[in-house]
Structure formats: structure tokens, C-alpha cells
């Protein structure tokens, strides 16, 4: 649900504008506000799960997500809807890190690979099927009020998940350590300001945010530097930092895997925006038709991700390399075919390349997540998963901004050449994918025999990662 709500609302924007009378800027904030709040609290949500118990945080965050979904669906004006989406994004950011943290805690070795395979399949389906589900909901409930059911659909799913989580997730013993010693409030603030300084201009790129808010990038760099210095100071004082720097310096494979994930999401996440604009604005297709035309990617990703989880123990990083190659080939084929084939047959022409790219995508997300988090100590699993996904959210925001800008630049010339604009955007996506591929190849060659560990390392407050 939390990932689906990133993409499903894009399809509902015209319905929101007509049904609620929102401005263009307000409608954009319905999308960007959620993504912004989501990315801001991922690491903090992971740290809270590590400190207070992942089951407890999962139940609290899931309850908040259900309530904020109801609030969004019942909104009576633009301000209420944008506020509800911000709160929903916070709830989603608190909820999501508990997933990877629980997998780290409950599974080992090959079992963990299979669990992350199912997790990766869910990520792929949720991201790619958002336009299809959004189109179906709008078609079923009408353009006037269909947008409300885009949010209400979370309620029955969330209630079932809440009951199952309460019954099935293991309870953690209550800690007797004081709250102040378990949470790094200054670190949370500095990290939040750093992420905000990067995400906010990118989220506002459609309204010229990069030109108006460029000064936030150097400010974010300053806050980031202060954050690193503060976290090192927390370690030297034998306190618990919000994000242990040793995750990046002493945990095998974590820094490289996080970088691969962030770069891949730069190219992966933005393609849904440009494909939707191409089919709906350029070719006049309905939201449902547009969503169905990109469903081959979702289907391929779901199938290969589930299989990939079982192959990680055997092939390791080379599985990611293979997946990135397929993604680059598939999206490259889309870039080549779109300007060449007649517009009425474009949907059929790109179905096979999108399926190839989807099969590759399923071999990227789940194996990379498994390998990145494999050597992370269990007690840090939540914050490590949150940091990994924060990088992916930053990559998503950057990719959407870059691909969207390139696409708009391509259609501003004479004749509004939508096929050429899509080809340029797909070429940018391929470039990001190739960059991630090069990094994966370097990692695979540097560590050719890396396999999943059967036990998870431990860490003390100040001792080394073992």
C-alpha cells in the first residue's frame, strides 16, 4: 500500500482537480507532498523500530496509514487533502522500514533470500501496477468521485493486514533503557534537514523548483556534514546514533549496494511518469489504457523477483549484473522503436521490450536488497533498511525530475514530437541503468565469491562491526 500510493495517485490527478477543484500546484502537492514526507522519515522510522520493537512500530504506523487514508478520501478542500497526504507519507515512511527489518530479524541465509525475493516482487508490482489499479478505480467510480476510492481502497486491505500482523508478528521484550539514551534527537533533526534540502527542490521541479530553490542543495550539504560529525561524536561518547556511520565504512557490501539501488531508481522510477504522459497526452489514451500498456513490465518484474530470491545464494552480485543488463536492453529497445513504428501500434511494439526490462528489474531490486543488508547486524536492521530506501527515494525524486525535464524539453519544439521526447527520456533512463551496472560489475569482480551469510553479525554501541 505504501509504495502503491506513490504511483496510483498520478492517474487520479485529473479526477482530483475536477472533483475537488484543486489548483495545478495543489494537485502536484498531493503527489510530491506524500513522496517528500515518505523520504524524510524512513531512517527515523527504522531507528524507532530498532529501539522500540518492529512489531510495535509496524502496528502503530499501519494504523496511522489507514486513518490518514480515510482522511484523504474524505477531504472537502485542497488544504485538507494535501495535509492528509503529508500525514499519510509520514505513516508510510514509519511503516516501510519495519518490513526489511523484520525479514532481517526472522530469516537467515537462503531463507532470507527467498523472503527478500517476495519483498522485491511486491515492490515491483506495487510500483508498476499503480497506474493500472488507479485507472480501474477511476473507471469504476467515475471521474467526479473516483479519486476518493484511490485512498479508501487502503482501508479494507489495511485492516486485514493489521489483524494478521497483530496475530503473526513476534513480540519484542520491552526495553528498560531510558528513551533519551536510545534515540538521537539531534541526529534525527540534522538528517531530516539534509534529506529535506535535497528532496524539496526535486519534488518542486515541475513548478520550477530547481531554479528557485537551488540554494537548498549547498545548505543540505552543510547539514549533511554536520550530521556525519555529530554521529561520529555520538559513537565516541558511547551513545546510539540514529544512523551508525560504520554501516557505510565497515559493513561489507552495504555502501556499494545502497549506491546501486539509488542509481537504479533514478532510471527506474521516472519511466512511469513519462510513459503516462506519452500515452495520455501524446496519444490520447485513457488512464486505464495507459496503465495496461505498461503492465508487461510489472508482470515480468513480479515473476523474476520471486525466482531471483532463490538464486541469490548461488549467483550473488552477478544476478544483479544480469538484471541491469536486461533493463538496459529493454528500455534501450523502447527508445529505438518508439520513433520508428506507427503511433497506433506503439503499445504492441514496446510490450516485449518492457517485458524484458521487467524481467531484469525483478533481478535487481530483491537481490540487491538481500546482498546489501546481508551483513548488517540485526539490531540495526531497521535503520539500515530505512537508509537504503531513503537513497532509493532520493534516486526516485532525481530520476522523475530529470526524465520529466527531458521529456518536456522534447515536446516543446515544433510539432510536439512526443515519440522523440519519449525516446530521449528512455535514453536517460538507460544511462542511469548503465551507471548502476558498472558499479555492480566492479563489486562483482572485487568480491567474486560473496555468498549470503548464515548468521547475522552483532554490534555493540561502540565496538566494531564483526
Q: How long a stretch of residues is the chain? A: 466
Query: Is residue 70 one of the residues assigned to a domain?
Result: yes
Residues 104 and 57 occupy one common structural domain: yes
Q: What angle do CA 415, 32, 133 make, to 5 degrees?
A: 80
Burial of 429 (0-12, 13-18, 19+ CB in 10 A): buried
pLDDT of residue 209: 66
Q: Give domain status of residue 425, yes or no.
A: yes
Q: Helix axis angle, 418-446 relative to 254-268, nearest 10°?
A: 170
Cell 511486491, residue located: 122
What pLDDT is stored for residue 462 in this prediction?
39
Which of 56, 12, 57 is CA-nearest to residue 34?
12
Q: Are residues 133 and 228 in the same domain?
A: no
Q: Are residues 312 and 246 in the same domain?
A: yes
pLDDT value of position 161: 94
> CB neighbours (10 Å) of residue 158?
19
The region, left, alpha or beta by phi > 0 then psi within -120 to 50, assigned to residue 253 is left
SS3 of 256-323:
HHHHHHHHHHHHHCHHHHHHHHHHHHHCCCCHHHHHHHCHHHHHHHHHHHHHHHHHHHHHCHHHHHHH
**CB-based burial label for 307 (10 Å; 0-12, 13-18, 19+):** middle
Same domain, yes or no, for 232 and 322?
A: no
Out of 210, 225, 241, pick the residue that ends a domain. 241
Could you tell me which of 330, 203, 184, 320 has the C-alpha nearest to residue 258?
A: 320
**How much is the pLDDT for 466?**
38
Where in the sequence is the domain holding 198, given as residue range(s)?
184-241
Asked whether residue 80 is domain-assigned, the answer is: yes
Same domain flag for 27 and 145? yes
Nearest CA to 359 out of 286, 287, 305, 312 is that of 305
Q: Which of 93, 243, 224 is nearest to 183 (CA)?
A: 243
> Measured between alpha carbons, how far is 66 from 162 in angstroms, rounded to an integer?
9
The verdict on 261 and 234 lying in the same domain is: no
Residue 243 and residue 230: Cα distance in Å, rounded? 10
- The DSSP line for 349-380 is HTHHHHHHHHHHHHHHHHHHHHHHHTTS-GGG
Per the domain annotation, does 353 fall within a domain? yes
Which of 241, 265, 280 is a domain's end point?
241
pLDDT at 147: 84
The answer to whether 190 and 227 have CB atoms below 8 angstroms apart is yes
123 close to 365: Cβ distance less than 8 angstroms: yes
Buried b (16+ CB within 10 A) or exposed e, 228-264: bebbeebeeeebbbbbbebbeebbbbbebbbbbbbbb
CA distance 361 to 304: 8
Q: Is residue 420 part of a domain?
A: yes
Q: Residues near 428 by Cβ (< 8 Å), separated by ≥ 6? A: 267, 270, 402, 403, 406
> Does 386 lie in the same domain as 267?
yes
pLDDT of residue 413: 61
Q: How far apart are CA 75 and CA 81, in angstroms?
A: 5
Q: What CATH number is given to the structural domain containing 48? A: 1.20.1250.20
- Asked whether residue 200 falls in the same domain as residue 152, the answer is no
The reply to whether 454 falls in a domain is: no
C-alpha cell at 395: 534516486
415 phi-psi bin (left φ>0, alpha ψ -120 to 50, beta other): left
* pLDDT for the residue 465: 46
Cβ neighbours of residue 54 closer than 8 Å, sequence gap 6 or more? 98, 101, 102, 105, 169, 172, 382
Domain match, 236 and 379 both: no
Cα(456)–Cα(438) distance, rounded to whole angstroms?
28
Instruction: Please give the tally of structural domains in the chain.
Output: 2
- What cell numbers appear for 279 in the block? 500515452
Angle at 269 between CA 37 and CA 140, to 5 degrees: 80
Domain boundary residue, one of 241, 268, 287: 241
Query: Are 80 and 20 in a shared domain?
Result: yes
Residue 463 lies inside a defined structural domain of this protein: no
pLDDT of the chain, 466 residues: tens digit per residue: 887 887 778 777 777 877 787 777 777 778 778 888 888 888 888 888 877 888 999 999 999 999 999 999 998 888 899 899 999 999 998 998 888 888 888 888 778 778 877 887 777 677 667 777 877 888 788 777 788 888 998 999 999 999 999 999 988 776 655 555 567 778 888 888 888 888 778 777 666 666 777 788 888 899 888 988 888 888 777 777 777 788 788 788 888 888 999 999 888 878 887 888 888 888 888 777 777 888 888 888 878 887 887 788 788 888 899 999 999 999 999 999 988 888 778 888 888 999 999 999 888 888 888 888 878 877 777 778 888 888 888 888 888 888 888 888 878 765 578 888 899 999 999 999 999 999 999 988 887 655 555 554 444 433 444 3
pTM, full prediction:
0.81
Written as nine digits, the cell of 176 is: 528498560
What confidence score (pLDDT) does residue 207 get?
Answer: 66
Which positions ≥6 away from 340 have C-beta within 8 Å?
A: none
Check whether residue 50 and residue 147 sit in a common domain: yes
Same domain, 365 and 267: yes
Look at residue 451 and tell me if it is in a domain. Answer: no
Q: Rounded CA gap, 34 and 72, in Å?
A: 11
Amino acid at each position: 500500500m505504501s509504495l502503491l500510493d506513490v504511483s496510483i495517485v498520478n492517474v487520479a490527478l485529473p479526477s482530483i482537480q475536477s472533483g475537488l477543484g484543486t489548483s495545478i500546484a495543489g494537485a502536484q502537492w498531493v503527489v510530491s507532498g506524500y513522496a517528500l514526507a515518505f523520504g524524510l522519515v524512513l531512517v527515523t522510522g527504522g531507528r524507532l523500530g530498532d529501539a522500540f520493537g518492529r512489531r510495535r512500530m509496524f502496528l502503530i504506523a499501519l494504523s496511522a496509514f489507514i486513518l490518514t487514508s480515510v482522511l484523504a478520501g474524505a477531504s472537502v478542500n485542497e488544504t485538507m487533502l494535501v495535509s492528509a497526504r503529508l500525514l499519510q507519507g509520514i505513516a508510510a515512511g514509519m511503516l516501510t522500514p519495519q518490513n526489511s527489518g523484520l525479514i532481517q530479524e526472522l530469516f537467515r541465509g537462503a531463507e532470507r533470500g527467498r523472503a527478500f525475493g517476495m519483498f522485491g516482487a511486491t515492490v515491483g508490482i506495487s510500483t508498476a501496477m499503480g497506474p493500472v489499479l488507479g485507472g480501474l478505480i477511476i473507471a469504476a467510480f467515475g471521474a467526479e468521485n473516483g479519486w476518493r476510492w484511490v485512498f479508501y481502497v487502503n482501508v479494507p486491505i489495511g485492516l486485514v493486514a493489521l489483524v494478521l500482523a497483530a496475530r503473526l508478528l513476534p513480540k519484542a521484550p520491552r526495553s528498560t533503557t531510558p528513551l533519551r539514551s536510545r534515540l538521537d534527537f539531534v541526529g534525527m533533526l540534522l538528517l531530516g534537514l539534509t534529506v529535506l534540502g535535497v528532496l524539496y527542490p526535486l519534488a518542486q521541479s515541475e513548478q520550477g523548483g530547481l531554479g528557485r530553490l537551488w540554494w537548498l542543495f549547498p545548505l543540505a550539504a552543510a547539514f549533511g556534514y554536520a550530521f556525519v560529525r555529530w554521529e561520529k561524536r555520538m559513537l565516541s561518547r558511547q551513545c546510539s546514533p540514529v544512523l551508525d556511520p560504520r554501516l557505510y565504512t565497515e559493513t561489507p557490501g552495504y555502501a556499494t549496494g545502497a549506491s546501486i539501488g539509488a542509481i537504479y531508481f533514478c532510471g527506474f522510477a521516472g519511466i512511469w511518469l513519462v510513459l503516462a504522459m506519452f500515452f495520455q497526452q501524446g496519444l490520447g489514451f485513457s488512464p486505464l489504457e495507459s496503465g495496461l500498456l505498461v503492465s508487461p513490465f510489472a508482470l515480468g518484474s513480479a515473476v523474476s523477483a520471486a525466482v531471483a530470491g532463490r538464486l541469490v545464494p548461488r549467483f550473488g552480485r552477478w544476478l544483479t549484473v544480469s538484471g541491469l543488463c536486461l533493463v538496459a536492453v529493454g528500455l534501450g529497445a523502447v527508445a529505438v522503436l518508439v520513433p520508428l513504428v506507427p503511433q497506433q501500434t506503439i503499445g504492441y511494439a514496446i510490450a516485449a521490450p518492457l517485458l524484458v526490462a521487467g524481467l531484469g528489474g525483478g533481478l535487481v531490486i530483491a537481490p540487491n536488497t538481500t546482498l546489501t543488508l546481508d551483513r548488517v547486524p540485526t539490531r540495526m536492521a531497521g535503520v539500515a533498511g530505512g537508509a537504503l530506501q531513503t537513497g532509493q527515494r532520493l534516486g526516485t525524486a532525481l530520476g522523475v525530475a530529470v526524465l520529466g525535464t527531458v521529456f518536456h524539453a522534447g515536446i516543446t519544439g515544433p510539432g510536439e514530437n512526443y515519440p522523440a521526447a519519449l525516446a530521449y527520456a528512455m535514453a536517460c533512463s538507460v544511462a542511469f541503468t548503465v551507471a548502476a551496472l558498472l558499479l555492480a560489475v566492479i563489486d562483482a569482480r572485487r568480491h567474486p565469491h560473496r555468498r549470503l551469510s548464515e548468521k547475522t553479525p552483532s554490534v555493540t554501541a561502540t565496538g566494531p562491526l564483526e
